[in-house]
Structure 1
Amino acid sequence: MPQRPLSHIRVLDFGHYLAGPLTGMMLADMGAEVIRITPPGGTGFDGPAFDMLSRGKQALELDLKSDEGRAAAIELAKRADVVIENFRPGVMQRLGLGPEALRAANSRLVYLSMPGFASTDPELSDLPAWEAVIAAYTGQFTDMGLNRRLMGINPSFSPLTLASAYGASFGAMSVLFALNAREQNGGDHIEVPLAAALLEGLVYNCEQIEDYPARYKSPREVELDRREAEGLPMNLKFEELSEFLDPFYRTYTCADGRGFYVVSGSVATHPRRVLETLGLKDLADELPDFSAYLDTRDWPAEWSMRNYPVGASDRERVSSAMKAAFLTKPSHEWEELFGAAKAPATAQRFTSEWLHDPHALASGLILQVEDARHGLMQQMGNVAWLSGDEGAARKSSAAEADLAALLAEPERGGAGGQAGKGWLDGLKVLDLTNVIAGPTIGSTLARYGAEVTLVQPVDPSVDPWNTVVFGIHAQRGKESILLNLRSEQGQEALTRLIAEADVITMNGTDQQRDHLGLSPERLEQINPRLILVQLDAFGGPMRGPKSDHLGYDDLAQAATGVMLRFGGGMETPEEHAHFGTIDVLTGFCACVALGGALLRLNETGKGGVARASLAAAGNLIQAQFMYDHEGRAPFDEPSGRAALGWGAFYHCYQAADCWFFFAAPTERTATLARVPELADLAELPEDQLHAALSERFRSQPLPHWRAAFAGTSATAVPLSSLHDTRDAALQLETAGNIDLTQATFRVIRHDRHPMGRWCDLVAPNAVRPQAGRITIPGSAPKYGAHTRAILARLGYSAGETEAMIASGAAGERWSEKYLPE
């Protein structure tokens, strides 16, 4: 097999449970030599999911509590490039294997620590950081989505391991970027607190804008505001919610009884494509259609097809016509028709169906792997890959490592470097993306020192809810130019921008990519070292029947099984709670792919295409159950509106004063035996334990139970909300001296924002390097703010620039105000 992108990198994976092994799997999936270190007898989390996460790794058993095992680990570190661990703070230091010890043995080592909460956080660092504990404390289970709030369902448990998914993507990207900068910075110790990664992943649910214009609120948000203002209960039934769902953002029932999810608002052409595909062209012709960038006072009608949401006057008749049309064909026919029409939509599927879906298998989003213990397995595929890397679609189960052979190899130490530089300092990135997932790439790269130039069309094709409201975060740290790429002058300016770029980012299918003139062949002709970072909805390492279908975050949720699990079944599908659940993660995964591409570039001088997709990220947030094989245990993970946990020892409970999450997944009944008020329950059968614990926990306030479990592997933490977490972590931008390294959570109130309103945004503090430098990106500019300056830099005279703007080949603004009102 040809050399793979990371085949020159060796990783020691001390990870357990999920986040660490996931990070190791991402690196192994790109060709790194990953040695999985396990204690005698295993980690206690062994099983099919862990076997999947161990694929492509070498397994080595070491007793790290013994002198021999510790000495072997240090010798291995001398011969490694990366160490991954996700223990509680201090564990590796007590073993003599902390970052100071191992980096003293190998100064070029990149050491990644992934604790649940920041090691420097005096309040939280010692918490037993089980996945759901992180989710509960951060606020993932509270006020979970508009449906649940309107139905008065709070809290809502979800088995999706978002903290580990976001943390692993941050961990993998930071390792790869640090390796890329090793000649300048030497090795590094990087900490990625999973709770900080989770808050960054849910950034759009924490974003707050002063005097937020009502035009951007969905019908469900308007109803929430109305009920709160009038003191009405939140008691809607699920079937009543349809009245408050936008026609272009909801599930319909097809002739075969399967749900079909449409997410086609906000982009100027998509609502019309949907209606015409359904045979409703006459209806489309009747609906208002005008610029979404006008202020509402200048609108000629109540709403526009170019702007989400549909107005109240047309909502019922549009949705009724669409309901009737969908009932005329089965879901698989509609899926083909919508895919061909480039109208974003998909059939709802269970995760078990997705694991055997023809497109998922053909594209490599799902792989068939011959596992040593389970036989033929369907497993989630890569979440980040490089085009042309054949190994991305070939996996093998873990193999035993040969310790003697490993220790016989030469050490990998060498000259260090000067600390304090951004890992991507000087990297020039040309950003051609829109909405959330694509722009997340550039804004993430900016924190590491990349110089990002955003190119958008002169006439916007996406409404300001997606471009401006979401862009306040996703476009941070960029300069902005508007070009008409359908014009000869616009294309010529783009060619000049490409010539000066190191990296180009775009979100779109291969068809869209080639139509833009960004085919790999053309880019290689312009500059063989150029890297294109491409993400799309349903792409994988190989082509499949839906590779050119369009899609958004929610459609990946529907296709991969997230919505049916969260909602509880085909009759009650619900989007998973939060804006950008998969969008943001996909952007992070694309950064992982770029990290691999940069290392390959350093080794081979070859650029190429680095890729990720929404569907692949949909696999990642379901990693702990994204597998199937003969004899597999049932897909019985918690689902639906009544879910509050996973058994009595991993569950949401009510104390006398508030809701909290109780986690004792390992010691279980032994934990109860240590607490006097609960000791008598330790002998109860498990099917009686939940009810008994519920009653007992209600007898005392939460501080009592937190004290009772202190010092054990169990814990009880309050169910916070994302907004409470945000507000408690808030710092004013104008106050200066914003610290990104001490507390687990940090949020910045940008009180001198160019839009003229303050806004609250999660700070970029999920990645905390010792040597590398992290920069807080500047505020997102108004679209087109730098058009003249960029054209001048490209060699255009003032007269030429003026002529381009006058002809519409370039532009300086989409609207008079930063945020249309």
Structure 2
Amino acid sequence: MTDRPLSHIRVLDFGHYLAGPMVGMMLADLGAEVIRIDPPGGPRWDDPAFTMLSRGKRALTLDLKTDQGRKTALDMVARADVVIDNFRPGVMQRLRLGPADLRAANLGIVSLSLPGFGSTDPELAKLAAWEAVIAARTGQFTDMGLNRQLMGINPSFTPLGLASAYGATFGAMAVLLALGARDRMGGDHIEVPLASALFEGLVYNCEQIENYPARYKSPRELELDRRRAGGLPLDLSYVDLGAFLDPFYRTYRCADGRGFYVVSCSIVTHPRRVLEVLGLDDLAATLPDFDAYLDQKDWPDAWAMRNYPVGPRDRARVAEAMQAAFLTRPSWEWEELFGLAKAPASAQRSTREWLADPHALASGLVLEVDDPRHGRMRQLGNLAWLADDTGAMDKRPGPMADEFRADLPTLLAEPPRAEPLGKGAGGWLDGLKVVDLTNVIAGPTIGSTLARFGAQVTSVQPVSPSVDPWNAIVFGLHAHRGKESVLLNLGAERGRAALARLIVGADVVTMNGTDQQRDALGLTPAALAAINPRAILAQLDAWGGPLRGPKSDHLGYDDLAQAATGVMVRFGGGPDTPEEHAHFGTIDALTGYAACVALGAALERRRITGKGGVARAALAGCGAMIQAQFMYDFDGRAPFDEPSGRKTRGWGPFYHCYRAADGWMFFAAPNERGAALARVPELADLTSQPEEGLTEALVDRFAGHPIAHWQERFRGGSASVVPLGSLSVNRDAGLHHESDGPADIRRATYRAIRHDQHPMGRWVDLVAPNAVRPEHAAITIPGPAPKPGAETRTILARLGYTEDEIAAMVAAGAAGEGWAEKYLPE
């Protein structure tokens, strides 16, 4: 084994579009030997993005429809660790390369399938699952955010590959965790339906809480409620929306005309930092500031500065003062000043600008690779890495055809992989102990994800909350599922001592924060190793990369990564009208999953070497990941002209949202194109029409019949028609009540759980953890998130503290038992 984390792992990558190749790239970036298997005639997807996703791999052409091609593939499987495919369900079986065939060749093989929909879903399994078909059926294009709803725009199309991004991270994570348990449990076959992964990644957009208090609704949500209740039109303009945006959560214009996005709400100190940087200290002194965890009936004023959102009395004057201040300096100066002040904000950039950004290049969030086809190529950087992996930045360009052919005899001369020791039961992470120091969404996602695989997760949060209840409690209903909770004051000696005791017995520590914040907690790599040399720190932040850059210690959130990497300019349709992407946690959840990929690699390295370390991921890296199809640049690149903006409904006539007689549907025939129309009597005459103007013709034709008619007409082949789904409808259709006992979460593509015995005292609906579906390993449905501090005494007693010592710690404020009388302040 070399010093790369996965140098001992061999992967056969049969992936042909986005998700499968992306899994292979992530594993190759961590040092695995990845061999891409191409069909005769070359890859099905001939695109610069595929070249980028093929970096670090070698290529071999095999005709899997021949006996010799199949035999060679199985001989390679016998000498491999991982097989990846993202065909439709049944394709690998028809090639006689299904899970049973792979196991017959190698009992220890970990195989990963990434179909569009669940293979056991009777309705959806056989669909031609193009990326936008998955997005449309899941509900990604429907009710696309509060802006679009207030403007009366529904549906909206976006080219972002969210399903493939979420599916790839779930897939890479699952592969690595299965490899770590292989000696105990044997090999496994894992299915990750991309639609299920998308549904999980968008969990915060279909979370539903019984009798949800109005205090947590944003000004846009309240205006939407008002208009709907009064039967008023949803017809706001982009400019009109400004009146309903929170001053600490919006875009401002700077002296150079560039937009500057501020996300500095909900953390106790952030709004005040913003006003101080802008020179608005006098304004800050006039704004109310009190405990956000009081019930609204006990508030001494109309709103609290540490509690999102700003009240209507002060919203306009604060926003106007901030806008006037921003106009006094250019965006690059504000970005530097905000970064130094630890006030989260970012200038708005396009995708192309991010690819040339000095910090992105210096940190390794964007890489420069000498590609034999495209020359010097800038491309998205590492998505998951280990801090001490010196090979993380050394990227070999994508393979040429049959690059591996000369090495094949050498590989086939190796002995087959040794059989695993046993076939144990349980989860991949049974017995793993995790200390969780995270907050908000991205960081807590690490622990809640590990809990489903059997890890024991202890959430450590401060005695005095630094985050308001909207972020800490409302989002925490999902982000902290499956954990136990202790409150410690890490600024107090006894609080730090209790944390050290936790770490001594832990395998993993998780945190979201910069290196400066990490070091201030006393968790430098050296300090962590001194406490527990086998402990792994899973760390994510906004701007970190394998190397240091000028923004490495700046703070940031999901929306700021969207602003910096081009998502907001793309979604809004240009630099003058940027919009946050429509879904809460678009990048947050993804970054948590990516950190789990890095952690999986660190655990695999520790299994071999006994060495701990630091596993990393960053929001900005994942902001690039959801744009992977476009996240590259080189001399002579085609224009960055992908669909964008509010009115977009597709990408040409053969990949588009259309209204049928009974509702909206998505039509996808990007391969068949005119041949698909020729098979349908009502459309056959349009095959001779130029594509320019064809969309309008299809609008008229599709409106003449219901969706079911068009589904039947296009059945078979590679074309698809699906109704535009809704996240909430999919949630309700697949809802299981927790009080009814264990749920079967693996059969349907979409499943949700109603936690109807929740300690909050309200029921809450959350997406079930069914994106990762192992054939053998167990998946645990995490229980409800506990009230913060609910297990403080139990956990401290387990650490060896006596009842008197615990009482003294609580009395001194070194430990705590709650933030408020109620689980969710009202």
Taking structure 2 as the reference length, the TM-score comes to: 0.99
Matched, 1:752 2:757: yes
Match of 2:640 among 635, 643, 651: 635
Unaligned runs of 5+ in 1: none
Question: 1:135-174 CA distances to partner (integer Å, 9 max, x unpaired)?
Answer: 0000000000000000000001000000000000000000
* 2:17 counterpart of 1:17: yes
Counterpart AA for 2:368: Q
Q: Is 559-568 or 481-490 further displaced after alignment?
A: 481-490
Deviation digits for residues 406-440 of structure 1 (CA, Å, limit 9, x no counterpart): 21222114135224221000100000000000000
Residue 184 of structure 1 contacts residue 421 of structure 1 at CA under 8 Å; is this kept in 2? no
Amino acid at match of 2:696: A
Rounded to whole Å, the distance in 2 between the matches of 1:375 and 1:408 is 36
Give the whole-Å Cα distance in 2 for the aligned partners of 1:575 and 1:32: 36
Deviation string for 1:744-779 (max 9, x for gaps)?
Answer: 110011111110000100000000001111000111
In structure 2, how many angstroms separate the alpha carbons of the residues matched to 1:561 and 1:746?
A: 32
**1:11-44 CA distances to partner (integer Å, 9 max, x unpaired)?**
0000011010000000000000000001011232
Equivalent residue, structure 1, for 2:440 = 435
Aligned to 1:797: 802
- Please state whether the residue corresponding to 1:392 is helix, strand or coil: coil
Q: Residue 452 of structure 2 corresponds to which residue in structure 1?
A: 447
Give the structure 2 partner of residue 65 of structure 1. 65
Asked if residue 464 in structure 1 is aligned to residue 464 in structure 2, the reply is no
Partner of 2:419: 414
Q: Is the 8 A contact 2:184 2:420 kept in 1?
A: no
Q: Write the letter of the residue equivalent to 2:108.
A: R
Residue 510 of structure 1 is matched in structure 2 by 515
User: Do residues 361 (structure 1) and 366 (structure 2) align?
Assistant: no
Residue of structure 2 equivalent to 1:565: 570
Q: Which moved more, 1:703-712 or 1:246-255?
A: 703-712
Deviations 1:281-317 (A, max 9, x none): 0111111000000000000000001100000000011
Find out whether 1:660 has 2:665 as its counterpart. yes
Counterpart CA distance in 1 for 2:394 and 2:694 is 45
**Secondary structure class of the residue paired with 1:590:** helix
Tell me how many residue pairs correspond in the alignment: 821
Residue aligning to 2:702: 697
The residue aligned with 1:4 is 4
Deviation per CA, 1:310-347: give whole Å up to 9, x if none: 00000011000000000000000000000000000000
Structure 1 counterpart SS, 2:641 = coil
Match of 2:496 in 1: 491
Give me the whole-angstrom Cα distance separating, in 1, the residues matched to 2:398 and 2:256: 42
Structure 2 matches for 1:780-795, cutoff 5 A? 780-795=785-800
Aligned pairs for 1:353-432 (under 5 A) are 353-399=353-399, 400-401=403-404, 402-432=407-437
The within-5 A match list for 1:698-737 is 698-737=703-742
Deviation sequence 1:684-713 (CA, Å, 0-9, x none) = 111121111111111111110000001121
Name the SS for the 2:782 alignment partner.
coil
User: Whole-Å Cα distance in 2 between the matches of residues 186 and 388 of structure 1?
Assistant: 30
CA displacement at 1:556 relative to structure 2: 0.2
Amino acid at match of 2:556: G
Q: Which AA in structure 1 matches 2:237?
A: K
The SS at the match of 1:262 is strand
**Equivalent-residue separation in structure 1 for 2:493 and 2:432 (angstroms):** 28
> Which segments of structure 1 move beyond 2 Å, counting only runs of 4 or more?
none
- Residue 495 (structure 1) shift: 1.0
Letter in 1 for 2:586: T
Taking the aligned partners of 1:692 and 1:68, their CA distance within structure 2 comes to 48
Work out whether residues 275 and 281 of structure 2, in 8 Å CA contact, stay in contact via their aligned partners in 1: yes
Query: What is the aligned partner in structure 1 of residue 744 from structure 2?
Result: 739
SS of the aligned residue for 1:290 comes to coil
- Higher deviation after alignment, 689-698 or 759-768: 689-698
Q: Secondary structure of 2:665's partner? A: strand
| Matches of 2:421 and 2:585, distance apart in 1 | 39
Query: Kindly tell me: are residues 2 and 414 of structure 1, through their superposed partners in 2, closer, same or farther at Cα, counting changes over 3 Å?
Result: closer
Q: Aligned to 2:479, which of 474, 481, 487?
A: 474
Aligned partners of 1:473 and 1:780 also within 8 Å: yes
In the alignment, is the contact (CA less than 8 A) between 2:53 and 2:398 conserved in 1? no
Contact (CA 8 Å) 1:250, 1:262: kept in 2 or not? yes
Distance 2:750 2:599 in 1: 27
Alpha-carbon separation, structure 1, partners of 2:249 and 2:731: 28
Letter in 2 for 1:492: A
Match of 2:135 in 1: 135
Residues 269-288 of structure 1: pairs in structure 2 closer than 5 A: 269-288=269-288
How do 1:89-488 residues align onto structure 2 when only pairs under 5 Å count? Answer: 89-399=89-399, 400-401=403-404, 402-488=407-493
CA distance in 1, matches of 2:794, 2:151: 51
CA distance in 1, matches of 2:565, 2:391: 23
Q: Does 1:547 align with 2:564?
A: no
Q: State how far apart, in whole Å, the 2-side matches of 1:704 and 1:28 are.
A: 45
Tell me how far apart the structure 1 counterparts of residues 600 and 560 of structure 2 sit (CA, whole Å): 27
For residue 181 of structure 2, what is the amino acid of its counterpart?
A
- Give the corresponding residue for 1:598: 603
Larger displacement relative to structure 2 (303-312 or 491-500) = 491-500
1:373-430 residue CA offsets vs partner (Å, 9 max, x unmatched): 1111001011000001122111111341132222122211413522422100010000
Q: Displacement, 1:2?
A: 4.9
The 2-side partners of 1:789 and 1:541 are apart by 39
Amino acid at match of 2:385: W
Which whole-Å CA distance do the structure 2 matches of 1:392 and 1:709 have between them? 46
1:617 is aligned to 622
Q: Distance in 2 between matches of 1:563 and 1:792?
A: 48
Distance in 2 between residues matched to 1:91 and 1:75, nearest whole Å: 19
- For residue 686 of structure 1, give the secondary structure of its aligned residue in structure 2: coil
The 1-side partners of 2:701 and 2:16 are apart by 32
Which of 747, 753, 770 is the equivalent residue of 1:765? 770
- Mapped to 2, the partners of 1:321 and 1:146 lie a distance apart of 25
- 2:592 partner letter: G
CA distance in 2, matches of 1:34, 1:86: 16
Whether contact under 8 Å (1:419, 1:771) holds in the other structure is: no
3-state SS, counterpart of residue 305 of structure 1: coil
The amino acid of 1:69's aligned partner reads G
CA distance in 2, matches of 1:803, 1:449: 34
1:595-618 CA distance string (max 9 Å, x none): 000011011111000000000110
Deviation at 1:3, TM superposition (A): 2.1
Identity of aligned residues (%): 72
SS in 2 for 1:313: helix
Q: Which residue of 2 aligns with 1:580?
A: 585
Question: What's the RMSD between the two structures over aligned residues?
Answer: 0.8
3-state SS in 1 of match to 2:51: helix
CA distance in 2, matches of 1:209, 1:784: 22
> Which is further off, 38-47 or 172-181?
38-47
CA distance in 1, matches of 2:340, 2:22: 35
CA distance in 2, matches of 1:768, 1:362: 38
Q: Give the distance between the partners of 1:803 and 1:420, measured in 2 at CA.
A: 43
CA separation in 1, counterparts of 2:70 and 2:681? 39
Q: What residue identity is the alignment partner of 1:316?
A: A
Name the SS of the counterpart of 1:388 in structure 2: coil
Deviates more, 1:713-722 or 1:413-422: 413-422
Match of 1:74 in 2: 74
Deviations 1:569-606 (A, max 9, x none): 11100000000000000000000000000011011111
Note if contact 2:182-2:420 (Cα within 8 Å) is conserved in structure 1. no
